[in-house]
Amino acid sequence: MAGQALRRLMAEYKQLTLNPPEGIVAGPVNEENFFEWEALITGPEGTCYENGVFPAKLSFPSDYPLSPPKMQFTCEMFHPNVYPDGRVCISILHAPGDDPMGYESSSERWSPVQSVEKILLSVVSILAEPNAESGANVDAAKMWRDDPEQFKKIAHHLVRKTLNLPSPSD
């Protein structure tokens, strides 16, 4: 099974290298292990994350693409769909099949037709439009809904931090 996963990951890496999505760079940490990737995601234009460069890691299971990878930001991130420890919580990364909570349809969840590129584009999409109804970070989801100006201030601070720039208040 790991051989099939390796071939698939190598093919996806080649595709990402030949035709990288705008604002995304991703690939294996090293060529010895295609099951651990790192990614840099640029905050989408026109959002409170604009110009930020957010590093993340993806860990692929040996039965990929039957099971989804896990994705985690490796920088500080304040976002409704990102757990405080950086783990990304989006439907496409949830195991295939029916949602035990009944929130997601099986078509929204992981399936082998998904790809690393689709995952990364989904993450860019949630940076642009968080889903506060499915909050992995309850504080961020509440602030996104109730105090968007404060949320934007925190996001701008994180953007400056990812660029090693001091915040205006520093």
The verdict on pTM exceeding 0.75 is: yes
Give the 3-state secondary structure of residue 4. helix
SS3 letters across 8-47:
HHHHHHHHHHHCCCCCEEEEEEECCEEEEEEEEEECCCCC
| d(C-alpha 80, C-alpha 83), whole Å | 8
Over its length of 170 residues, how does the chain's per-residue pLDDT go in tens digits?
Answer: 678 999 999 999 999 999 999 999 999 999 889 999 999 999 999 999 999 999 999 999 999 999 999 999 999 999 999 999 999 999 899 887 766 665 666 677 898 999 999 999 999 999 999 988 877 999 999 999 999 999 999 999 999 999 988 867 65
Determine how β-strand 24-30 pairs with β-strand 70-73. Answer: unpaired
3-state helix, strand, coil in the chain (%, to 5): 35, 20, 45
158 within domain boundaries: yes
For residue 53, what pLDDT is reported?
A: 96
Q: What pLDDT sits at residue 122?
A: 94
72 belongs to a structural domain: yes
pLDDT at 2: 77
Position 101 scores a pLDDT of: 61
Residue 104: per-residue pLDDT:
63
Residue 59 lies in a domain: yes
Which range of residues forms the domain containing residue 21?
Answer: 4-163
Show which residues are catalytic: 89
CA distance 31 to 9: 11
pLDDT attached to residue 10: 95
How many structural domains compose the chain? 1
Identify the pLDDT of residue 31. 84
Q: Is residue 139 one of the residues assigned to a domain?
A: yes
Q: What is the pLDDT of residue 52?
A: 96
80 occurs within a structural domain: yes
